[in-house]
């Protein structure tokens, strides 16, 4: 009998549409899978079995149709879901049940996609390992002693552990692509504004972007198409047609495509095995007919420090709304403390150490006398990075690099060294500062652990990611997660 949890999203949708199986049976198989293995992986913070089975029943009744109707999905817990807990990995929102759905959630439901539940993440999406979740770390299904990346490690781990064939993440500085890289999955950061941010709990408003996560490029493209499109409720939403991502994934042909290797995103700071897999990936793209040249983007070297001024500055503003008054946790309200004291006590108890660190950093960067020296300068660097991208795309169609400087590291290895943790986003941050789309696609193994190839494209050319990713995937199929711990 076919194991329904091992099918791709495309295969699952086809089996449901042909009545070989039912959406309810598929949903139940994945709920059973979660019950069996998530105690070890901890990909989910909340499983909505009742809601998932109800949505699946609607698909079976013919009430909802579409290319992904009946396919299960794991949703990162930063995207609000009406009546379903949304914690953002933080104690300050523990137990909060939003009164509305995010646009992404609405579109998933309209497409007939079955949301299984909410996945674990670094608190407020601040982290690169999912160890900064207030609810405990997620573990990498390739090796349970290692991290699954962050901040969206729960979504990536759910895919790698076959708990869901699709997932949604958000990417502020690499939080979709870095987990995809270290778990051997596909993760895409769409063009900024390509997917609505309405109902996405904000970390850094000029950088945050929801995107698709999957085990294959075509699955990711179909999810991308279902999620994307203009939303008048999001002032940054692009009012333009969604790029033809599904057609590109199916075409999967790079013959004649001009590929630029970013000089500044390789060599020093990248593990030897990662660099070797990347070099092999570039050689394969050449074999497939692409023209490869080295491209210099000199200001990429300043992306990391610029990001860690811009993002915390925006976070210090966005997180001010968590004041103990309107929603979420409220501590110290005993009739003795003033409102200001209750706010202070609540924030002290509700925010974790990494969130506090970034709020302090951002508040300092925005403070009188330092604004121009820090935040202002960082925005100038952002402009220079955008110019680097613009200049590069005059001579090449896409840029490539490793998606992460290393493979998954052991849990706890970098928790006491914030700078080492921040460097995990070395290759992914530039695309967020620019606003263009980027993808991580599996590129092989180093020391038995996954390595990702990053593809970056111009703004609104998300289809080029799927063209390259699809061709690369077809030429170098990726081995499934070994999951040896299941049989230990």
Exposed, middle or buried: residue 120 (CB in 10 Å: 0-12, 13-18, 19+)?
buried
Q: For the chain, give the number of residues.
A: 488
* Torsion angles phi and psi, residue 463, rounded to 5: -60, -30
Active-site annotation holder among 76, 118, 189, 414: 76
Active-site annotation holder among 90, 151, 204, 431: 151
Active-site annotation holder among 128, 175, 237, 440: 175
Q: Which DSSP category does 410 fall into?
A: B
- Name 81's Cβ contacts closer than 8 Å, sequence gap at least 6: 48, 75, 98, 101, 102, 105, 115, 118
Q: Are 450 and 143 in contact (CB under 8 A)?
A: no
Does 317 qualify as catalytic in the annotation? no
Q: How far is CA 84 from CA 35, 77, 97, in A?
A: 19, 10, 5
Exposed, middle or buried: residue 3 (CB in 10 Å: 0-12, 13-18, 19+)?
exposed
- Measured between alpha carbons, how far is 319 from 336 in angstroms, rounded to an integer? 25
Does 263 qualify as catalytic in the annotation? no
b vs e for 265-295, b when ≥16 Cβ sit within 10 Å of the residue's Cβ?
A: bbeeebbebbbebbeebbebbeebebebeeb
C-alpha angle with apex 146: 182 to 89, nearest 5 degrees? 85
Does 151 qualify as catalytic in the annotation? yes
Helix (H, G, I), strand (E, B), or coil: what is residue 186?
strand
Terminal alpha carbon distance of the chain: 24
Active-site positions read: 76, 151, 175
């Amino acid at each position: 009998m076919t194991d329904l949890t091992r099918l791709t999203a495309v295969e699952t949708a086809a089996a449901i549409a042909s009545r070989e199986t039912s959406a309810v049976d598929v949903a139940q198989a994945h709920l059973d899978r979660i019950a069996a293995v998530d105690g070890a992986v901890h990909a989910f913070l909340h499983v909505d079995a009742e809601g998932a089975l109800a949505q699946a029943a609607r698909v079976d009744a013919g009430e909802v149709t579409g290319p992904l109707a009946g396919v299960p999905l794991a949703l990162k817990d930063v995207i609000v879901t009406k009546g379903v807990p949304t914690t953002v990995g933080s104690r300050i929102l523990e137990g909060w049940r939003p009164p509305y759905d995010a646009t992404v959630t609405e579109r998933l439901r309209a497409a007939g996609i079955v949301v299984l539940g909410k996945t674990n993440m670094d608190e407020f999406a601040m982290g690169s390992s999912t160890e900064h979740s207030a609810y405990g770390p997620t573990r990498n299904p390739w090796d349970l002693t290692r991290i699954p990346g962050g901040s969206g490690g729960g979504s990536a781990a759910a895919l790698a552990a076959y708990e869901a064939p699709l997932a949604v993440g958000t990417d502020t500085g690499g939080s979709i692509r870095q987990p995809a890289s270290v778990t051997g999955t596909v993760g895409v950061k769409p063009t900024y504004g390509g997917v609505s941010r309405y109902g996405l709990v904000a970390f850094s408003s000029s950088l945050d972007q929801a995107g698709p996560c999957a085990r294959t490029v075509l699955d990711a493209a179909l999810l991308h198409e279902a999620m994307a499109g203009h939303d008048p409720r999001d002032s940054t939403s692009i009012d333009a047609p969604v790029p033809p991502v599904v057609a590109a994934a199916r075409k999967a042909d790079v013959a004649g495509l001009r590929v630029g290797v970013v000089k500044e995103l390789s060599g020093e700071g990248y593990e030897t095995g990662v660099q070797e897999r990347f070099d092999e990936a570039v050689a394969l793209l050449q074999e497939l007919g692409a023209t490869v040249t080295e491209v210099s983007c000199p200001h990429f070297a300043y992306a990391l420090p610029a990001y860690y001024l811009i993002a915390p500055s925006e976070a210090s503003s966005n997180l001010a709304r968590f004041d103990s008054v309107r929603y979420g946790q409220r501590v110290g309200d005993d009739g003795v403390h003033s409102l200001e004291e209750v706010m202070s006590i609540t924030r002290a108890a509700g925010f974790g150490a990494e969130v506090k660190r970034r709020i302090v950093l951002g508040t300092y960067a925005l403070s009188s006398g330092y604004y121009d020296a820090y935040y202002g300068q960082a925005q100038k660097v952002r402009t220079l990075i955008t110019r680097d991208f613009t200049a590069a795309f005059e001579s090449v169609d896409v840029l490539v690099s490793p998606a992460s400087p290393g493979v998954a590291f052991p849990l706890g290895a970098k928790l006491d060294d914030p700078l080492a943790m921040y460097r995990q986003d070395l290759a992914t941050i530039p695309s967020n500062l620019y606003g263009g789309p980027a993808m991580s696609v599996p590129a092989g193994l180093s020391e038995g652990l996954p390595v990702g190839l990053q593809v970056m494209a111009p703004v609104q050319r998300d289809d080029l990611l799927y063209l390259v990713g699809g061709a690369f995937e077809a030429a170098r199929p990726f081995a499934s997660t070994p999951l040896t711990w299941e049989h230990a």
